[in-house]
Amino acid sequence: MMQVRMLILLAPLIYAAHILEEEPGYIRWVNSVVDRGYADHGHFFAGNLPSITITALIAVIAALTLNRGALLAMLAWLSYFMFANAMFHIVATVVLRHYSPGTVTAAALYLPYFVWFVVYLRTRVPAWAIAAVALIFGMPMFIQAYMIVFRGTRFY
């Protein structure tokens, strides 16, 4: 169980690595794709610190308790911030034929970590519950990805 707990605690580090990959060029990239761009205040990493902190809190609770509720909360969070986000970066890079900052960590870290977490969670939670949580909580990012990649507009 110690190994599982330690792996769960990797989530915020993986998230931070992804944000560091995105920081130098994500806003510039997305502004080149959408009709209404985002302001670039030069604080991309700092702007993501609340989400990294929430990831860390959820991971600590899940790792300490290994409680199904805490693990499902972590699945909900990771479904948006890791799984759906990884799909966004990969699809955007392929469809738009231009590197979307974040694609490397999305493919090399987010997807393997998410798959590991789902496989672990499958020993504790029915597959239908995992699928439902992942779909429901990933949906806003899937919608955002569709709008950016295929319609050239923002979700918010």
Per-residue pLDDT of the chain (156 residues; tens, 9 = 90+): 899 999 999 999 999 999 999 999 999 999 999 998 888 888 999 999 999 999 999 999 999 999 999 999 999 999 999 999 999 999 999 999 999 999 999 999 999 999 999 999 999 999 999 999 999 999 999 999 999 999 999 877
What is the per-residue pLDDT for 155?
77
DSSP 8-state code for residue 156: -
Predicted pLDDT of residue 41: 86
Closest to 50 (Cα-Cα) out of 79, 20, 12? 12
What distance in Å separates the CA atoms of residue 87 and residue 19, rounded to the nearest whole number?
15
Return all residues near 51 (Cβ < 8 A) that are at least 6 apart. 15, 81
CA-atom Rg of the chain in angstroms: 16
- pLDDT at residue 42, as a whole number: 87
pLDDT (0 to 100) of residue 40 = 86
Q: So what's the pLDDT on residue 9?
A: 98
* pTM tops 0.85: yes
Task: Give the pLDDT of residue 37.
Answer: 85
